[in-house]
Amino acid sequence: MTGDRWRRIADQIEDVDVSLSLGRRFCVVVSDLLSADKASLALVVNHATSWIEGSDDAAVILDEQQFSLGDGPSFLAVDSLAPVMAIDMNSPEALRRWPAFAPVAIRHDAIAVFSFPLRVGEARLGVMSAYRSRPGELTAAEYADGLVLASLATMALLQQQAGVSPGDLAAAFLPGVTHQSPVQLAAGMVSEQLDIPIIEALVRLRAYAYSHEQSVNSVARSVISRELAFHEEEEQ
Amino acid sequence: MTTSTGTTFELPDASQLAAAFVDLARSVNDGKDMVEVFSMLAERCVTVLSVAACGILVIDPIGELEVIGSSNHSAHLLDLFQVQNVEGPCLQCCRTGEAVIDTELSETGPWPGFASAARSQGYLAVYAVPLAARGVVVGALNLFAHTAIQDEEIAVAQALADAATIALLQADPREDALVVTRRLHMVVEERNTIEQAKGILSQRFSIDAEEASVQLRRAGERTGTRLVDVATAVVTRDNSYDAARLLANPIT
């Protein structure tokens, strides 16, 4: 039971052609598992995309448009920190709900859009989206796969930002490695110590763990027990 | 009431028990967030049953057991929950859907590492009761006791677990698997946000996680704000919330 879905999907991502970029590897697996025609991964800072990778140019444009229009499932997923499922962009409800984005989606043949926020607690990284040319919902299994993919993408991107070699995904893909309570508690402490956003604190913890060859969990424990303080580290 | 061991056992005080259920129902109706409801439930279990500690674990969409409510926040207790992703009564309970009772905690038993960790914390009996609805197991209620509890108390724990599951899901897991997955995911992320806020406060006021948790709750009570919203305001340093401004200094 424990970690089965996680392990299966992590293995699938690790098996994708390693010559592709990290984002493209995710897009391949997202398209496959969510039966989508296009997929994208976007980093978002203050409601603007800072980096987008898509399975094709149209996927990138669809993401860009949503953030420049301030409308659409990907935009809302980041804003609300919850997955957003738009099952038929041609429907009157969709045109009402996404007045600016629906016409763009239809033009690019994105009839169903499924967006999952890349988040850990209140730490927001961005969004993962899947685009289908046909209307319809995700199955429960596809939805669960989507959540796991979003979690894996979050871990991989945190690791990438922490300066860990992008080839080394295995460490990012240990189940529960950043979800565990102590890591979140420690991230809060580091965020306050350095007066930095929580997302940056999570990256710092990871970077410290990597450079000191420790697990993120053991670094978190040192922070909680106050053996390690990042503001004191910086002064040295 | 006489039990098989011949000792006299009294059911938990009926008024306390009723209060536990009323609390649960009321907090769900009040729109309290799930982490708050489950922390209350875990605390109630410790009041109503003769157990020393209680935790509520759910299986998140990733397949990990995640603690979403606990009667206290000591690191040792959290470790006892965490280790059950590898071995222990909760893992077995979630796999089989059956309650697990371990009053031996033997180092030659089915979960030697867990047993020895539990014993070193002074626990002599551990129970895991399924959180299940219509045959679908979504987690477990985990009880730790200094002495073995009676079967009747386990039945009470099961009733509380059932009430908690209904509060958690508000959906039929066979028909609404997607809704259930979504809720389990959201409750774990809310827990993450609350942990992040606790970290910020424990650093700000030089207090431990348990005291930080009390601070968050007080801020919520004083300002009529849901716990998860207080936590979000703290983490994002959003001073448009009264609760966040209040937490510039310790609340006594």
| CATH number for the domain harbouring residue A112 | 3.30.450.40
Residues A190 and A117 in one domain: no
Residues A100 and A193 in one domain: no
Q: Is A222 on the interface with B (CB under 8 A)?
A: no
Q: Is residue A234 part of a domain?
A: no
CA A9 to the chain's CA centroid: 14
Asked whether residue A233 carries a pLDDT value surpassing 80, the answer given is: no
Residues A47 and A73 in one domain: yes
ipTM over 0.90: yes
Q: Is residue A82 part of a domain?
A: yes
Residues B226 and B167 in one domain: no
Q: Is residue A150 part of a domain?
A: yes
Low-confidence spans in chain B with pLDDT less than 70? 1-14, 27-32
Residues A205 and A102 in one domain: no
Q: Is B187 exposed, middle or buried (0-12, 13-18, 19+ CB in 10 A)?
A: buried
Mean of the per-residue pLDDT values of chain A: 91
- Region A120-139 average pLDDT: 96
Residues B152 and B202 in one domain: no
Domain closes at, from A136, A166, A196: A166
- Which one has a higher pLDDT value, A45 or B16? A45
Residues B153 and B200 in one domain: no
How many structural domains does chain A have?
A: 2
Residues B168 and B199 in one domain: no
Strands (E), A55-203: 84-86, 112-120, 123-132
Residues A184 and A162 in one domain: no
Residues A111 and A160 in one domain: yes
Residues A106 and A145 in one domain: yes
pLDDT band at A69 (very low <50, low <70, confident <90, very high): very high
Residues A161 and A197 in one domain: no
For A114-131, the DSSP string reads EEEEEEETTEEEEEEEEE
Residues A125 and A209 in one domain: no
- For residue B84, what is the nearest residue in chain A, using CA coordinates? A2
Contact B187, B157 (CB under 8 A): no
Q: Is residue A29 part of a domain?
A: yes
Contacts 24+ apart (CB under 8 A), A6-15: A6/A148, A6/A151, A6/A152, A6/A173, A6/A175, A6/B62, A6/B63, A6/B64, A7/A175, A9/A33, A9/A145, A9/A148, A9/A149, A9/A152, A10/A152, A10/A169, A10/A173, A13/A152, A13/A169, A13/A173, A14/A169, A14/A170, A14/A173
Q: Is residue B3 part of a domain?
A: no
Range of the domain at B147: 14-172
Residues B152 and B220 in one domain: no
Residues B154 and B80 in one domain: yes
Cβ of A4 and B63 within 8 Å?
Answer: yes
A residues 178-217 lying closer than 8 A (beta carbon) to B: 179-182, 184-193, 198
Residue A144's Cβ-side half-sphere holds a number of Cα atoms within 13 Å equal to: 20
Convert B24-54 into a string of H (helix), E (strand) and C (coil): HHHHHHCCCCHHHHHHHHHHHHHHHCCCCEE
Residues A129 and A101 in one domain: yes
- Distance in Å, alpha carbon of A57 to nearest chain B alpha carbon: 30
- Region A78-103 average pLDDT: 96
Residues A206 and A155 in one domain: no
Q: Is residue A171 part of a domain?
A: no
- For residue A119, what is the nearest residue in chain B, using CA coordinates? B189
Range of the domain at A204: 180-224
Q: Supply the pTM of this predicted model.
A: 0.89
Residues B214 and B157 in one domain: no
Q: Is residue B177 part of a domain?
A: no
Q: Is residue B64 part of a domain?
A: yes
Indicate the SS3 state at residue A85: strand
Residues B56 and B160 in one domain: yes
Q: Is A233 on the interface with B (CB under 8 A)?
A: no
Q: Is residue A142 part of a domain?
A: yes
Q: Is A45 on the interface with B (CB under 8 A)?
A: no
Tell me which residue of A44, A45, A42, A40 sits closest to A29, measured CA to CA. Answer: A40
Query: What is the pLDDT at residue A3?
Result: 66
How many structural domains does chain B have?
A: 2
- Which one has a higher pLDDT value, B159 or A1? B159
Q: Is residue A128 part of a domain?
A: yes
Please give the share of chain A, as a percent, with pLDDT higher than 70: 94
Residues of B in contact with A190 (CB under 8 A): 199
Q: Is A122 on the interface with B (CB under 8 A)?
A: yes
Q: Is residue A236 part of a domain?
A: no
Residues B192 and B140 in one domain: no
Query: What is the pLDDT at residue A172?
Result: 72
Q: How many CB atoms lie within 10 A of CB A166?
A: 15
| CATH number for the domain harbouring residue B23 | 3.30.450.40
Query: What is the pLDDT at residue A21?
Result: 86
Residues of B in contact with A191 (CB under 8 A): 196, 199-200, 235
Domain closes at, from B131, B146, B172: B172
Query: What is the pLDDT at residue A4?
Result: 78
Residues A38 and A153 in one domain: yes
